[in-house]
Chains A and B, each alone.
Chain A
Amino acid sequence: RKEVEQDPGPFNVPEGATVAFNCTYSNSASQSFFWYRQDCRKEPKLLMSVYSSGNEDGRFTAQLNRASQYISLLIRDSKLSDSATYLCVVNIAGSARQLTFGSGTQLTVLP
């Protein structure tokens, strides 16, 4: 079983739609959680951290369920510029290597 698993998609949605991505992680000792965004042939960039109580940044909402070892990202009012691959990333406490990356979920927002 992969340490971090994501639905690879692709998700093709119209502009203005709401889309949700899910991610599961296998190590219950995981302590920190992130969503990164990666545009085609570019480097990953931090989209947002995920906090236990859930957090929101504009049109983006991230949630964490530690009991189910599940992370989600919700994008409201999708824009064409949201088209990218979204990477679920987990930090395991005590691990000097820090971050484990999921394979990513590809999103295309259509006009």
Chain B
Amino acid sequence: DGGITQSPKYLFRKEGQNVTLSCEQNLNHDAMYWYRQDPGQGLRLIYYSQIVNDFQKGDIAEGYSVSREKKESFPLTVTSAQKNPTAFYLCASSGGSETDTQYFGPGTRLTVL
């Protein structure tokens, strides 16, 4: 089956710890994205990558880091510098052209204890 997978589905973290969220796609899409969603709010862009080995900051990149070493993988690390990391994290991919639709993974729900 083609699609986007994210793991884990639920993640609990203690304050001061870094955690890495996985995102993998087998759609052969060039572009990948990370969003954060808080209750009652829209999606906010954290980082995006248009091609392998290249990525750009989105609107709320502070406290997060990414890598794009392979086309199919775009992991997100939530660092201890992120002051309010509890949220629903969504990964998406698209074919890369401006009019392409983005397809989302099932999301990871992160809770900081």
Binding site for B on A (CB under 8 A): 4, 8, 31-32, 34, 41-46, 49, 87, 91, 93-99, 101-104
Beyond A42-B107, A97-B33, A98-B48, 9 additional pairs, beta carbon < 8 A? A31-B98, A41-B88, A41-B109, A42-B106, A43-B90, A43-B106, A87-B42, A96-B50, A103-B42
CB pair A98–B107 under 8 Å, yes or no, is: no
Asked if B42 and A102 sit within 8 Å, CB to CB, the answer is: yes
Q: Which residue of A lies closest to B107 (CB)?
A: A43
B106 engages A93 (CB within 8 Å):
no
Of listed A44, A46, A49, residue having the most chain B CB within 10 A: A44
Contacts of A49 in B (CB 8 A): 101
Find out whether the CB atom of B58 lies under 8 angstroms from the CB atom of A97.
Answer: yes
Structural contact, A98 and B102, CB atoms closer than 8 A: yes
User: B33, B40, B98, B102: which contacts A8 (Cβ < 8 A)?
Assistant: B40
Across-interface contacts of B35 in A (CB, < 8 A): 101
Q: Which 8 pairs from chain A and chain B are nearest by CB?
A: A43-B104, A103-B42, A101-B42, A101-B43, A32-B99, A43-B107, A46-B101, A43-B106
**B residues in contact with A32, CB < 8 Å:** 98-99
Establish whether residues B102 and A103, one from each chain, have CB atoms under 8 Å apart when the complex forms. Answer: no
Contact B94 A98 (CB under 8 A): yes
Minimum CB distance partner of A3 in chain B: B42
CA distance A88 to B99 in the complex (A): 15
